[in-house]
Amino acid sequence: MKILHIVQGFEFGGVNNVIVNLIKAFHKLGVENIVITPHIRNEFMALLRPYVSHIYVLGRSVNYLNSIKYILTEKERIV
């Protein structure tokens, strides 16, 4: 099974830690995790790398408030 995680951005805060812990839990269950985000800090990249098969970083050109809309309209090109 694959799960596509659409995250508005990995910066600081407790919500991002919850997302990382959920991805780790899904990985333990044998799920293939794929993450799409407009930006990610290096600390979160290092935390996620062992548990995620692909991390797509859209770049700062995509406004994080519109990132989910962008991903949904461009999903065929992204995945």
CATH code, domain with 44: 3.40.50
**pLDDT digits over 18-39, tens only?**
888 999 999 999 999 988 887 7
Range of the domain at 20: 2-78
**21 vs 58: which has the higher pLDDT:** 21
Beta-carbon-side half-sphere exposure of residue 40 (alpha carbons within 13 Å): 21
Please give the tally of structural domains in the chain. Answer: 1
- Extract the tokens encoding 57: 């970083």
User: Average model confidence (pLDDT) for the chain?
Assistant: 80
End-to-end CA distance of the chain: 15
Report d(CA 48, CA 63) in Å as an integer: 22
- Determine the average pLDDT of the residues in 50-67: 76
pTM, rounded to two decimals: 0.73
